[in-house]
Amino acid sequence: MKHELPLLPYAYEALEPFIDTLTMQIHHDKHHQAYINKLNDALKNYPELTEKSVEDLLMSLDSVPEKIRLTVKNNGGGHFNHSLFWRVMKPGGGEPSGHLAQSLINKFGDFAKFKVEFSKISNNFFGSGWTWLVANKSGELEIIALPNHDCPIAMGLRPLLVLDLWEHAYYLKYQNRRPEYIEAWWNVVNWEEVEKNYENIHQSKTKLQKCRD
Ligand code: MN
């Protein structure tokens, strides 16, 4: 089984004017595709790994041969992170509601404060990486920024929302103005998808509970 580039769930120009068409084309078709190619290339001599999903690979990096471990971590992370990034955006954006909205209020005070905190962490992050809203092992929400393509699922965290901080994500339109890119990005967050990610955690917890019973 080869890893494949997922289709964008919208057109390249759909996130204009906040994220420009050319950036979306290069980012999806060139950058994301390159991570997948390098991942497939690294795995080609390891048939025992070819049936594993990218999630399984990242969650069990210790079982990946040392020779290709870093390549799988970087490019598998590049594949997983971008796949999630495309899904948590949509034209028109919106606001969180339901269970997730309540959890954001409980943790950060209100939605505006959550946004300020997430943006601050993103602006202050040095170099290439990603900002994440995750649920930790006890289900509590946390904002973290991780370097390169490091992925929270490798640390037992559940990703809900992610923002790409690599320059390739914004340089064509925003050049050195990362704060402007981050501010604009809030207009295209797909909160329904983030809520779905959050509900899935609770469902899988319930399933685990049922298994134990
Ligand atoms: Mn990227």
Instruction: Determine the distance separating the centroid of ligand 1 and the alpha carbon of 132, expressed in angstroms.
Output: 14
In a domain, residue 13? The reply is no
In a domain, residue 15? The reply is no
Give me the domain span that covers residue 149.
98-212
Instruction: Determine the distance separating the centroid of ligand 1 and the alpha carbon of 166, expressed in angstroms.
Output: 6
In a shared domain, residues 62 and 150: no
In a shared domain, residues 82 and 111: no
Instruction: Determine the distance separating the centroid of ligand 1 and the alpha carbon of 112, expressed in angstroms.
Output: 26
In a shared domain, residues 47 and 129: no
Answer whether 0.85 is exceeded by the pTM: yes
In a shared domain, residues 134 and 62: no
**pLDDT digits 0-9 by tens, 61-108:** 999 999 999 999 999 999 999 999 999 999 998 899 999 999 999 999
Final residue before a domain boundary, out of 49, 66, 87: 87
Confidence category of residue 213, pLDDT binned at 50, 70, 90 = very low
- Three-state secondary structure string covering the chain: CCCCCCCCCCCHHHHCCCCCHHHHHHHHHHHHHHHHHHHHHHHCCCHHHCCCCHHHHHHCHHHCCHHHHHHHHHHHHHHHHHHHHHHCECCCCCCCCHHHHHHHHHHHCCHHHHHHHHHHHHHHCCCCEEEEEEECCCCCEEEEEEECCCCHHHHCCEEEEEEECCHHHCHHHHCCCHHHHHHHHHHHECHHHHHHHHHHHHHHHHHHHHHHC
Final residue before a domain boundary, out of 45, 60, 87: 87
Residues 153-176: what's their mean pLDDT? 97
In a domain, residue 182? The reply is yes
In a shared domain, residues 71 and 169: no
In a shared domain, residues 109 and 194: yes
In a domain, residue 184? The reply is yes
Instruction: Determine the distance separating the centroid of ligand 1 and the alpha carbon of 164, expressed in angstroms.
Output: 6
Instruction: Determine the distance separating the centroid of ligand 1 and the alpha carbon of 136, expressed in angstroms.
Output: 24
**Per-residue CA distances from 197 to 71, 106, 161, 175 (Å):** 27, 18, 8, 31
In a domain, residue 4? The reply is no
Residues 122-131: what's their mean pLDDT? 97
Confidence category of residue 1, pLDDT binned at 50, 70, 90 = confident
In a shared domain, residues 103 and 34: no
More confidently predicted of 92 and 182: 182
Instruction: Determine the distance separating the centroid of ligand 1 and the alpha carbon of 68, expressed in angstroms.
Output: 21
CA torsion 11→12→17→20, rounded to 10°? Answer: 180
The domain spanning residue 148 has which CATH number?
3.55.40.20
In a domain, residue 180? The reply is yes
In a domain, residue 10? The reply is no
**pLDDT digits 0-9 by tens, 190-208:** 999 999 999 998 777 655 5
- Provide, rounded to the nearest whole percent, the portion of the chain with pLDDT above 90: 91
State how many domains the chain has. Answer: 2
Q: For residues 172 and 23, is the Cβ–Cβ distance under 8 A?
A: yes
